[in-house]
Amino acid sequence: MVLGCSDCCSHTGYDAIGNTGPRFGVRHLQCILVFFGLAVAYALRVNLSVAIVAMTDSNHTNPAFPEFPWDESIKSYLLSSFFWGYVVTQVPGGYLSAIIGAKYMLFFGVLICSCLALLTPFCALTGGWKLVVVLRAVQGLCQGVIFPSTHTFLSKWAPAEERGRLVGYCYSGSQFGTVIMLSVSGYIASSSLGWPSIFYISGCAGILWSLIWIYLCASTPAQHSTITPNERRYIETSGQLRRPSDAGREEFAAHQKLRTPWIRIFTSLPFLSLLLAHCANNWGFWTLLTQIPTFMKSVLGMDIKHNGPLSALPYFAMILLTCFFIWLSDMLKRNGSSMSLSFSRKLFNSIGLWLPMLALLGLGFITQGSANAKLAIGLLTLAVATNSASYLGFHVNHIDLSPNFAGTLMGITNCAANVMSILAPLIVGLIVTDETNPTQWRIVFYFTAFVYFVGNLVFIVFGRFTVQPWNNPSSRQTRAVPVDGHENTERAPLIDS
């Protein structure tokens, strides 16, 4: 049964909207669709990473399919070309999702990327690696809109009281898609289907998801045809104070086109601290995932790149710990904890960045040996898995700071963070001239740990978790808005009845 939102009158003349909503409603269906959408998107992103092993060494998979003489230099172009396009459409994706709707940006982003995946084997056979590089760059352009559009979408659909939980569950779909692709691709390539089916299966999955998405999804609760009035009211007024005379005005405000306050955003200290935290996170996360396998192979003599299930282990652990951290956050709220929203965000962000930092420091002391190789795998898994706590930290902070421009903020920070993802392996290449030298790797681990430390420290000191004044550039007055049960401030015009 759908539970309505209860009103209680306050002496200020406003109705405080109750903190209860349907246990399972349309908003949860939307989030399930986002979960699988991000799973498909990441499957499309990593499919070449696992297929390229079979494409260049058919003796270890199915020799009945073509093999390509691509050396390591060509492979690096193929694997990095996706990010050439990915960083370009981050900011436009967030901006456009606020104008034409996140539903359509996600639909076209996944659909076009899926169709291109189906063409990958054809391009490899007819145009060689250069045509595949172009195709992957275009796929990156398509996927660059996905994270910013997802943030825009969740800013409309996630009630304030459920924001951290729903954001965490949705974004764990990216790890789910990675786990599935890494785990099954090796078996697919070795089967009678061969390596082309890796692209065909992931592409068809993306097209199927796109058709389901366009039919069941809406960019906002107001645009959804089957949502109940109670649930819509709960989402749109969640955590807010509202006068009875303001009823019906939210939809009018939603159709107003707000001008993006670019200068105020880039001069906002809370946003800049969020930007640094996101960059530090990506620097450390991608250093872990891209360089640790090389360290383990060169120093410890253990190759995990060609072991699909072992490669998927950190991502699988990340999914489990995401659920744990969400449960822990909810339990602290249910038990009447006095933990503020600010402390909660900083606590989980510290877990997500400083525990991986400690794991990196531990990796710096590991030397050759089978026992140490297992310890290294454990530390790598721990570092990647605990990073999931940041979903309840900086990852949701874009919506905290500005629900109206959450997609644009995510576009800016994710663009800069992915530049870090590109630079990190290059910096490692400058430091590590001898891959078998553990001392050089120790420098890499210590430097990355330092980046983690500074990024989270700045976020703790300068991060803010209230709606910023520039969220509504045309506003004239400020009112208090409790978020997640704690007071927030939001700029909004108060219209007399």
262-471 to CATH, choices 3.30.465.10, 1.20.1090.10, 1.20.1250.20, 1.10.287.3610:
1.20.1250.20
Highest mean pLDDT among 291-295, 343-347, 434-438: 343-347
- Contacts of residue 246, defined as CB under 8 A and 6 or more positions apart, other chains included, come to 495, 497
Does the pLDDT of residue 382 top 70, yes or no?
A: yes
Q: Note the pLDDT of residue 472.
A: 80
Does the pLDDT of residue 7 top 50, yes or no?
A: no
Does the pLDDT of residue 248 top 50, yes or no?
A: no
Does the pLDDT of residue 276 top 70, yes or no?
A: yes
Q: Note the pLDDT of residue 205.
A: 95
Q: Note the pLDDT of residue 54.
A: 81
pLDDT range class, residue 350, cuts 50, 70, 90: very high
Q: Note the pLDDT of residue 30.
A: 94
pLDDT digits (tens, 9 = 90+) for 64-102: 788 888 887 788 788 888 888 999 999 999 889 888 999
- What is the CATH code of the structural domain delimited by 25-222? 1.20.1250.20
Per-residue CA distances from 64 to 54, 124, 190 (Å): 11, 16, 10
pLDDT range class, residue 266, cuts 50, 70, 90: very high
* Domain spans of the chain, in order of start: 25-222, 262-471
Mean pLDDT of 377-400: 89
pLDDT range class, residue 140, cuts 50, 70, 90: very high
Does the pLDDT of residue 33 top 90, yes or no?
A: yes
Q: Which residue has the tokens 């996140």?
A: 102
The whole-angstrom separation of Cα 341 and Cα 476 is: 26
DSSP 100: H
Does the pLDDT of residue 222 top 80, yes or no?
A: yes
Mean pLDDT of 104-117: 95
| Of the listed ranges 112-126, 231-245, 300-314, 372-386, the one predicted with least confidence | 231-245
Token output for 472: 């509504």
Q: Which region holds residue 101: left if phi is over 0, alpha if psi is between -120 and 50, else beta?
A: left
pLDDT range class, residue 237, cuts 50, 70, 90: confident
- Asked whether the beta carbons of 281 and 390 are under 8 A apart, the reply is yes
Q: Note the pLDDT of residue 16.
A: 38
DSSP letter string, 383-446: HHHHGGGGGGTHHHHHHHH-STTHHHHHHHHHHHHHHHHHHHHHHHHHH-SSTT-HHHHHHHHH
The whole-angstrom separation of Cα 225 and Cα 435 is: 58
- Counting residues of the chain whose pLDDT is more than 90, the rounded percentage is 35
Q: Note the pLDDT of residue 474.
A: 63
| Of the listed ranges 35-49, 154-168, 201-215, 264-278, the one predicted with least confidence | 154-168
- Asked whether the beta carbons of 384 and 318 are under 8 A apart, the reply is yes
Does the pLDDT of residue 441 top 50, yes or no?
A: yes
pLDDT digits (tens, 9 = 90+) for 153-172: 998 998 877 888 898 899 99
Q: Work out whether the CA dihedral 476, 478, 479, 483 comes out positive or negative.
A: positive
Mean pLDDT of 209-229: 92
Q: Note the pLDDT of residue 68.
A: 86
Q: Note the pLDDT of residue 20.
A: 54
Q: Note the pLDDT of residue 6.
A: 37
The whole-angstrom separation of Cα 344 and Cα 346 is: 5
Buried/exposed 283-308: b ≥16 CB within 10 Å, e otherwise: bbbbbbbebbbbbbbbbbebebeeeb
Does the pLDDT of residue 59 top 80, yes or no?
A: no
Q: Note the pLDDT of residue 55.
A: 84
Highest mean pLDDT among 11-20, 421-430, 447-456, 488-497: 447-456
Token output for 275: 């930007």
Q: Note the pLDDT of residue 487.
A: 41
The whole-angstrom separation of Cα 470 and Cα 263 is: 10
What interhelical angle do 90-100 and 102-143 show, nearest 10? 160
Q: 25-222 and 262-471 share one CATH topology?
A: yes
Average per-residue pLDDT in the chain?
A: 81
